[in-house]
Structure formats: structure tokens, C-alpha cells
Amino acid sequence: MSTIWLKILPYIVALLLVAGALFGVYRHGVTVTNDEWQAKWSERDARDDAAKATNEAAERAKEQSRQQAINKVVQNGQALIDTAAAAVTAANRESDRLRSAADGLASRIAAGQAGGHSCTTAASAAATRAVMVLADVLKRADQRAGDMAGYADQSRIRGVTCEQAYDSLGQ
């Protein structure tokens, strides 16, 4: 039996060598294929990273452009608000003069009625009160109208500013 093994042993060794060589070739092919795929994946990742960086830079530029547009709209709106506030201040000065004139007129009428009016004293006092009430109503109406005009101007300017800021985002 040992002679049979001696005769078969070279074939078994040759078969093992061929199997080992085939396995080595297979492993080499797998390694080369994996290296090729890894290189392709690395190239793809590099392209993706470059595209991501380019896209982020473009989006940042858009964002900065939009922010600058909004800042300009806000500055313009604030300038309009400041102009409106100055106009309200000027209008209030004029209103103060009107109210002073109304007070002066009411005082003169009251003084004139007290001094030289031929009506009865009760009628004179009632007329004086009516003039004073009318002057007070005029003053209050003028003050309220000025306040409402200021609020309306502010609201309109703020609304227009908001609308312009929104429109600038669409560009």
C-alpha cells in the first residue's frame, strides 16, 4: 500500500499546487477588482465633495445677496420712517399753534362776553362754556387726527418695507 501512495503522491502534490495556484490567481483577481472599485468610489467621493463645496458656495452667495437686499430695503424703510416722524413733528408744531389759536380765541370770546355782552349773565356763561367746549373738541380732534395720521404713515411704510423685503427674496 505504501507503493500506491508513493505513485499517487506526486499527482496529489501537483493537484494541490494547481489548486493553490488557482486560489492565488482568484485572490489576486479579487484584490485587483476591489482596488479598482475602491479607486472608482474614491473618485466619485471626490467629485461629490467638489460638487457639494461648489453648491454651498453658490448658495452662500445667494443668501448673502438676499440678505444685502433685505438690509437695503430695511435701511430705505427706516429712512422713510424717519422722514415721516419728522413730518409728524412738524405737523404737531402746527397743530400746537392751531390749538393755541383756538385757546386764544376761546379766551377772547370768554373775556368779551364777560365784559361787554348785554345778554343775561346766565346766557353769557352758557355761551362761554359752549365756546370753551368747542375749542376743546377742536383741540382733541386735531390731536387725535395727528396721532392717527402718524400711525397710518408708520403702518403704510412698514407694510411697504415688508412687501419689498419679501419681493427681494424672490430675486
- Mean pLDDT (whole number) for 49-70: 93
C-beta separation of 77 from 157 below 8 A: yes
Residues 33-46 pLDDT 10s: 999 999 999 999 99
DSSP string, 1-52: -HHHHHHHHHHHHHHHHHHHHHHHHHHHHHHHHHHHHHHHHHHHHHHHHHHH
Per residue in 126-155, pLDDT tens?
A: 667 777 777 788 888 888 888 888 888 888
Residue 161 confidence (pLDDT)? 86
Tally of structural domains, the chain? 1
Angstrom distance (rounded) from CA 160 to CA 154: 10
CA 14 to chain centroid: 81
Q: Grid coordinates 379766551 are at which residue?
A: 107
- What number is the average pLDDT over the span 22-30? 93
Instruction: Place 4 in a pLDDT band, splitting at 50, 70 and 90.
Output: confident
pTM above 0.75, yes or no: no
Structural domain boundaries, residue 14: 2-169
Residue % of the chain over a pLDDT of 70: 88
Q: Which residue has the higher pLDDT, 85 or 60?
A: 60
Average pLDDT, the chain: 84
Interval 9-31 mean pLDDT: 92
Say yes or no to pLDDT of 166 above 90.
no
Q: Is residue 50's pLDDT more than 70?
A: yes
Residue 119, SS3? coil
pLDDT at 158: 87
Q: What is the rounded distance in angstroms from the CA atom of residue 112 to the CA atom of residue 6?
A: 153
Kindly state the average pLDDT of the residues 51-63: 95
The string of pLDDT tens digits covering residues 87-132 is 888 888 887 787 787 777 777 766 665 555 455 555 566 667 777 7
pLDDT confidence band for 24 (50 / 70 / 90): very high
